[in-house]
Structure 1
Amino acid sequence: MSVQARMQNPTTLLPDAVKAINLLYKAAHSAGVPGSTLELVHLRASQINGCSACVDSGARNARKAGETEERLFALAAWRETPYFTDAERAALALAESATRLADRADPVPDEVWNEAARHFEEKELAALVLWLATTNFFNRLNATTRQPAPQHWG
C-alpha cells in the first residue's frame, strides 16, 4: 500500500509560514546546543510520531553532519546502548517526554527536566524545547497531510 499525500505541504500553500519556521530553526540552532544533539532529538521525536518524511530527512541530515550509522541505528534503543553521552541521553529523555505528552499525568517529570538542566544552560534548554516543539509541529503537519518520505534510488 503506497502512502499518498492528501494535499501539498501546507507551508507551500502559505508561504508566510516558511518565514516563521525558518526563524524558529535559526533561533534553536543558534543557542549553543551541539548540532548533533539537535539532529538526534529531531530524529527520535520523529520516530516516535511515525513521521516518515522527518525520519528520512533527519537521518540524512544527521549523517551529513557527521553522525555515525552505528548511533543512528541504535537511536530507538538509546537507553540500552553505550553510544550516547550523558548530555545526549538527557536531551533524548526530554525529547521523548515532550513528544509523548499524553502518556502520563506529569508529561515532563522533574527528574527528566533536572537531568537536562544539569547538562544544558538555560538558553540551551530553551533551544532544545523550541526545537522539540518545532519537530513535533513538522511531524503533525506531515502526518496529517500524509507527506511521504521521498524515494531515493541508488
Structure 2
Amino acid sequence: MTQRIDMATAAPDGYRAVYAVEQYVQANVDHQLLELVKLRASMINECSFCVDMHSQDALKAGEDSRRLFAVAAWQEAPFFSEEERAALALTDAITRLGNDGVPDDVWDRAAAVWSEQQLAALVIAIGTINLWNRIAIPTRKALPE
C-alpha cells in the first residue's frame, strides 16, 4: 500500500495539537502500561503501523516479548497485573465503544485500582491512541522498511 497523505505536512497545526495531547499522556501514564494500552487498541483497530511502532517501542524499553504477544489474548494470559488487566479491559471497552458506552463493571474495575487522576489520564491515553489509529489507517501510514 502507498501512503495517501502525510498528515504532519498536510495539517501541521492539527498534527502538533494531537502530539501535544500525546506528550501529556506520556508524562502522566506509566510508560510500560502505556505501551500495552497502545498496542492493544492498535490490535483491535488493526492499525499495522501502530502495532509495529508500539511493539518495537515496548521491546526497546525492556518489555518482555511474551507479554507483548499475549496482549492479543490478555484475558487468558497469566502475565498481567490487576492494574494492567483493568487498563486493558478499559482499552477494549473504549476502543470498541458501543451504544451503551463503557460497561459499569469495566469502569468500576479500573476505578478500584487507579486514582481519579490516573484514571482520567488513562482515558485520555486510550482516546489518543484511538485517534492516532484513525489518522494512520485512512492515510495508510507507511511502515518503516
| TM-score computed with the length of structure 1 as normaliser | 0.89
- Structure 2: state its 5+ residue gaps: none
Q: Secondary structure at the match of 1:5?
A: coil
Match in the other structure for 1:144:
138
Report the identity percentage: 46
2:15 is aligned with what amino acid?
V
What whole-Å deviation, never above 9, does each CA across 1:46-85 have from its counterpart, x for those lacking one? 0010111100101011112211001011110111110000
SS state at 1:18 partner: helix
The one-letter code sitting in structure 1 at the alignment partner of 2:100 is D
Q: What CA distance in whole angstroms lies between the structure 2 residues aligned with 1:83 and 1:73?
A: 11
Question: What is residue 17 of structure 2 aligned with on the other side?
Answer: 20
Alignment partner, residue 106 of structure 1: 100
Distance 1:12 1:54 in 2: 19
Q: Deviations over 1:102-131 (max 9, x none)?
A: 3xx323101000101111111111111111
RMSD over aligned Cα, in angstroms?
1.2
Residues 52 and 148 in structure 1, CA contact (< 8 A), matched pair in contact too: no
Give the counterpart letter for 2:54 in structure 1. G
Q: Which residue of 2 aligns with 1:135?
A: 129
Q: Structure 1 150/40 Cα, relative in aligned 2: closer, same or farther at 3 Å?
A: same
- Paired residue type of 2:119: L
Query: Which residues of 2 match residues 42-57 of structure 1 at below 5 A?
Result: 42-57=38-53
Letter in 1 for 2:47: C
1:36 to partner: Cα distance? 0.6
Aligned residues between the structures = 145
Determine if the alignment matches structure 1 residue 89 to structure 2 residue 85.
yes
Can you give the 5+ residue segments of structure 1 that lack an aligned partner in the other structure? Answer: none
Give the TM-score normalised by the residue count of structure 2.
0.94
> How far apart, in 2, do the equivalents of 1:7 and 1:22 lie?
17
